[in-house]
Structure 1
Amino acid sequence: MRLVAEPYAQKRKQFINLVIKYVKKGSGSSLEFLNSRSWTYPVANLNEIIKQANFVVVGDVATRLYMPERMTLDLDILVKAEDAKLVYEDLENAKGQKVGDLSIASTQWRLGDGKALVVWAFDGDWVVEAVNSPNYAPDGLPVIDLPYLVLMKLIAGRSQDIADISRMLGVAEDWQLGRVRMAIGRYLPSALEDLDSLVVLGRLEQG
């Protein structure tokens, strides 16, 4: 499935405007906390399971590389749509069980150790770029690069996703912000204005 936007653009804009209206300078967490990075909570060793295709960790677990860690049991990965069957084969070979379809583009699995996994399978140039150019977690898992994580969260449109973007971009370096803007400008240009607002909001909260 090709990931396209923007079903939640108006909702996102309303949420951002509301938060900016009430946020106070320096009202967020300390800079020391916001700059902390950890990989404390256990994650399934997918490198030992998925061997026939490339993948990247996305979702809440992926944010650990870009903002303070929060406990989550949700594990999501992104794969190219053309590789989905290979990934499913690997999961089944590792005693994983398919629980069901969450949407046209995602399936839910139960791994052999009992952990839950959601596999997202999309088409598109950005997916190829994201899957082929990951960052790496301390345990060696490939994690989606910041520009593509922001892209996915913008399209998802949940209030938590918007809050995550603000927190990640509020402490991002200028060179990182430049890369994020380039990706959003290419794949979701209608969100550029909101992106700049989220950067301002993130920096305002940290003072």
Structure 2
Amino acid sequence: MALRAYMPERATLDVDILIHERDAQVAQSIFIESGYRLMGTLSIGGFTVQIENEAPIDILTRSDPWLDDAFAHAVLDSAGIPVIPRAYLILIKLQAGRTQDLADIQRLLALTPIAERVMVRGIVEQYSPELTEDFDSLITLADLEFGLPGQ
């Protein structure tokens, strides 16, 4: 869902909610008290809940040092739902490294002004320096596929 704040929405069946790891127990209790069933835990951290006749919801838990800053600077998507800033969304997807995540990053970067790309690169260098080269490659691929931003 966070992607729709920054680019045209793609079809997806899942809903992911990102919370701080320290809030996991409280969040889980609230979902259960609201009628959701706990479906299991996620290998990447978190859990899945589901209410009857609805799609499951993945509650992703993280404890990254940047998480509080990302939450403090959340932006609203087209439905008014707060989502983390594009830079941190790119960082999370880069860290996940799945094929769809990398494709999402390319599409995100295609719509990201060059000055903001520089800022995102700084965040990648700070929190996942081992992924900086991958980030640079994704910028190149985005520019080759979609053209430079603003052109």
Mapped partners of 2:141, 2:85: distance in 1: 22
**Displacement of 1:102 after TM fit?**
2.1
Deviation at 1:131? Answer: 2.3
Length-normalised TM-score, structure 2: 0.88
- Which runs of structure 2 are paired with 1:56-205 in the superposition (5 Å)? 61-103=1-43, 105-111=45-51, 114-205=54-145
Asked which structure has the greater RCO (Cα within 8 Å, sep 6+), the reply is: 1
- 1:32 corresponds to: none
Q: Secondary structure at the match of 1:125?
A: coil
Letter in 1 for 2:61: A
Tell me, in whole angstroms, the C-alpha distance in 2 between the residues paired with 1:150 and 1:170: 12
Instruction: Return the index of the structure with the highest Cα Rg.
Output: 1
How far apart are 1:72 and its partner, in Å?
1.0
Q: CA deviation at 1:113?
A: 6.0
- Give the Cα separation in 2 of the matches to 1:187 and 1:165: 17
C-alpha offsets along residues 153-188 of structure 1, whole Å, 9 cap, x if unaligned?
111111111111111102211232122112111101
Q: Partners of 2:78 and 2:146 in 1: how far apart?
A: 27
The question of whether the paired residues in 2 share the 8 Å contact of 1:171 and 1:203 is answered with: no
Unpaired stretches in structure 1, ≥5 consecutive residues:
1-60
Rounded to whole Å, the distance in 1 between the matches of 2:62 and 2:42 is: 14
1:44-63 equivalence runs, <5 A:
61-63=1-3
Q: Structure 1 residue runs of 4+, over 4 Å off? A: none
Classify 1:178/1:104 alpha carbon distance in 2 versus 1 (closer, same or farther; 3 Å). Answer: closer
SS at match of 1:103: coil
* Cα separation, 2, equivalents of 1:67 and 1:137: 10
User: Would the alpha carbon gap of residues 176 and 115 (structure 1) be closer, same or farther in structure 2, given more than 3 Å must change?
Assistant: same
Q: Distance in 1 between matches of 2:53 and 2:78?
A: 21
Cα deviation digits, residues 28-82 of structure 1 (max 9, x gap)? xxxxxxxxxxxxxxxxxxxxxxxxxxxxxxxxx2111222211111101111111
Summarize the Cα distance change of 1:122–1:159 in structure 2 as closer, same or farther, 3 Å threshold. same
List alignment gaps of at least 5 residues for structure 2.
Answer: none
- Residues 146 and 79 (structure 1), Cα distance of their counterparts in 2 relative to 1, 3 Å cut: same
Distance of 2:91 and 2:6 partners within structure 1: 14
Task: Note if contact 1:78-1:120 (Cα within 8 Å) is conserved in structure 2.
Answer: yes
